[in-house]
Every structure is written in structure tokens, then in C-alpha cells.
Amino acid sequence: MSRIGKKPVVVPAGVTAKVDGQLVQVKGAKGQLEFLVPDDVSVAQQDNAIKVEPRDDSKRARALWGTSRARINNILVGVTAGFEKKLEITGVGYRAAVQGKTLQLALGYSHDVNYPIPAGIAIVTPKPTEITVSGMDKQQVGQVAAEIRALRGPEPYKGKGVKYANEFIFRKEGKKK
């Protein structure tokens, strides 16, 4: 049995959740999100909670049981508090700046890299070497942060590049003479 799937998702105060068949719609202070639950899992609203259960004992149904519950919980957290990822830039001359709807990055290439900011995502640069990606959708926030990091991932010798704020870069020793 799924330990996560067994727990009902409690709908916090100030949030409206509506279950319509397999579609879960949630509206909160930050906006509105919806999630289409796979057919292998049944979803029902009871009092002030959303309950998720597998329709049968197949491997796919059991796998999607906990996943669906976690996704529903993530959209509830997203419309109330939101999600954010912090990135750090290391390297001489490496910097970031937000200009309108684009993130302009100087990452040691012969040209600046312009990353268009997608809808539903807010990017802030408190310092030229820090980037904060925030939004309601946890998946989208993580995807945008991963795409920015992939523009110049951290290298193991000097640690130059874009890395997550809590990421540890395993450093290698250079050539010996």
C-alpha cells in the first residue's frame, strides 16, 4: 500500500477545490490550477479533503496512486504559497539580469544568452549572481530552473557555471606537473 496515497489531501482555508469526474480544479489566492487524474485512480471529495484510491490492484494503478495524491497536494500548495528555486552563478564576468520578459545571461560565451520567461513564471535577480525562479506550478518552476542551469552547468574543476543554491559540486583535482 502507498503510504503517501493513503493520506487524504486536506484543503486549506481560503482555497476552493472542486472534483469533477477525473478533473481536480483548485482556486486560491495566487490563481487557479487543475490536474487531470489518470483513469487508473479514483478521486473523490469528502468534507474538507480530497481522497485518492486505486481502481484495481494493477502495478500501474498502485504506481499512479501516490503520484496523483502528491500532484494534487502540489497544486494546493501552489495556489496558496507557490514554489521557488534559487540558482547561483559562479565565474568571473558571469552575471544575470532581467529585462522585460527575458532573462539576459552573460555566461562566458561570445554572446549573451537571452532566455524568454514563460507565462506563469516570475524570475528575479536580487544580485547579478543570483536568480530566483518562482511560480504556482511546481513542475514548471523546476523545468525552467533546469533549463537555465543547462545553459552553462557547473564544471568540476573551478566550479564555474550555474548551479542550484543547495547543490554541492564535487571538485576534481587539476593536472599534476
Domain 83-164 has CATH 3.90.930.12: yes
pLDDT band at 175 (very low <50, low <70, confident <90, very high): confident
- CB under 8 Å to 23, separation ≥6 — which residues? 34, 35, 36, 37
Same fold, 3-80 and 83-164: yes
Q: Is the pTM of this model over 0.85?
A: yes
- Biggest CA–CA distance in the chain, Å, is 71
CATH of 3-80, one of 3.90.930.12, 3.40.640.10, 3.30.360.10, 3.20.20.70: 3.90.930.12
| Residue 1, pLDDT above cutoff 70 | no
Residue 119 to residue 63: CA distance in whole angstroms: 31
Summarised one tens digit per residue, pLDDT across range 118-139 is: 999 999 999 999 999 999 999 9
What are the extents of the domains in the chain?
3-80, 83-164
Residue 164 to residue 150: CA distance in whole angstroms: 11
Residue 161 to residue 154: CA distance in whole angstroms: 4
